[in-house]
Chain A
Amino acid sequence: MIAEVETKRALTIRNLHKSFGEVQALRGVDIQTKPGEIFGIIGPDGAGKTTLMRILCGLMVPDVGDVDLLGFDPVTQTHEVRERIGYMPQRFSLYPDLSVVENLRFFADLYLVSKEDVAQNEPRLMDFSRLQSFRKRKAGALSGGMKQKLALICTLIHTPELLILDEPTFGVDPVSRQEFWTILRDLANDGLSIIVTTAYMDEAQLCDRLALMHHGKLITQGTPDEVTRAFGKRLLEVRSPDILRVRRGLDALHLPGINVHRFGARLHVVYENDEQEEAIRLTCHGYGAELEEIAPSVEDTFVALLQDQGEEAV
Chain B
Amino acid sequence: MKRILALARKEVLHILRDPRSLAVAIAMPLGMLLLFGYAIDMELRSLPVGVMDLDHSQTSRAIVRDMTAGGFIVDAGRIHSRDEVERGFRRKKFLAVLVFPEGMDRDLANGNSPTIQLMIDGSDAATAQTVENYLSAVIARKNIEILREDLGDIKPPLEARVRFLFNPELRSPDFVVPGLTAVIMIMICALLTSVAVAREKETGTMEQIMTTPIKPSHVLIGKVIPYMVIAVLDATLVLLIGRVVFHVQMAGSWWILAAYSLLYLFISLALGLLVSTLAKTQQVAMTVALVATMLPTLLLSGFLFPISGMPLVLQWFAHIIPATYYLEVIRGIMLTGRHWYPFELGIMIVMALFLMSVSMRKFRSRLD
Contacts and interface: CB of A to CB of B under 8 A. Distances in A.
B209 A110 contact: yes
A93 B366 contact: no
Interface string A103-130: 0001101111000000000000000000
B367 A59 contact: yes
Contacts of A94: 205, 208
Interface stretch (B9-17, B144-152, B319-327): B9-17
B204 A112 contact: no
A91 to B, nearest CB: 4
B2 interface: yes
B366 A59 contact: yes
Contacts of A91: 203-204
A99 to B, nearest CB: 9
Contacts of B7: 110
Given A59-B365, A89-B207, A110-B3, 8 more contacts: A59-B207, A59-B368, A82-B213, A93-B203, A97-B13, A98-B14, A106-B6, A106-B10
A60 interface: yes
B81 interface: no
B366 A61 contact: yes
A78 B214 CA distance: 11
A144 interface: no
A110 B205 CA distance: 13
Contacts of A93: 203-205, 207-208
A83 interface: yes
Contacts of A58: 211, 365-366
A97 B7 CA distance: 14
Contacts of A95: 10, 14, 205
Interface in B278-317: none
A102 interface: yes
A92 interface: yes
7 contacts: A20-B368, A59-B365, A97-B17, A98-B14, A106-B9, A109-B3, A109-B6
B366 A60 contact: yes
Contacts of A14: none
B201 to A, nearest CB: 11
B367 to A, nearest CB: 5
A15 B356 CA distance: 39
B210 interface: yes
Interface string A59-96: 11100000000000000001100110101010111110
B83 interface: no
Contacts of A107: 212
Interface size, A (range)? 20 to 34
Which of A54, A78, A93 has the largest number of chain B CB atoms within 10 A? A93
A102 B212 contact: no
Interface of A: 20, 54, 57-61, 78-79, 82-83, 85, 87, 89, 91-95, 97-98, 102, 106-107, 109-112
Contacts of B10: 95, 98, 102, 106
Nearest to A88: B208
Interface in B322-359: none
Contacts of B159: none
Nearest to A56: B211
B368 A110 contact: no
A217 to B, nearest CB: 20
Nearest to A98: B13
Contacts of B205: 93-95
B18 interface: yes
Given A79-B213, A97-B13, A97-B14, A109 B367 contact: no
Nearest to B206: A93
Given A95-B14, A106-B10, A78 B365 contact: yes
B215 to A, nearest CB: 8
B213 A92 contact: no
A83 B213 contact: yes
A54 B212 contact: no
Nearest to B209: A110
A85 B205 CA distance: 17
Contacts of A20: 368
Given A58-B366, A94-B205, A112 B211 contact: no
Contacts of B3: 109-110, 112
Interface in B165-216: 203-205, 207-214
B110 to A, nearest CB: 88
A56 to B, nearest CB: 10
Contacts of B366: 58-61
A72 to B, nearest CB: 12
B213 A102 contact: no
A217 B204 CA distance: 26
State the 4 A-B residue pairs at the shortest beta-carbon distance, nearest first: A109-B6, A93-B208, A87-B211, A110-B212
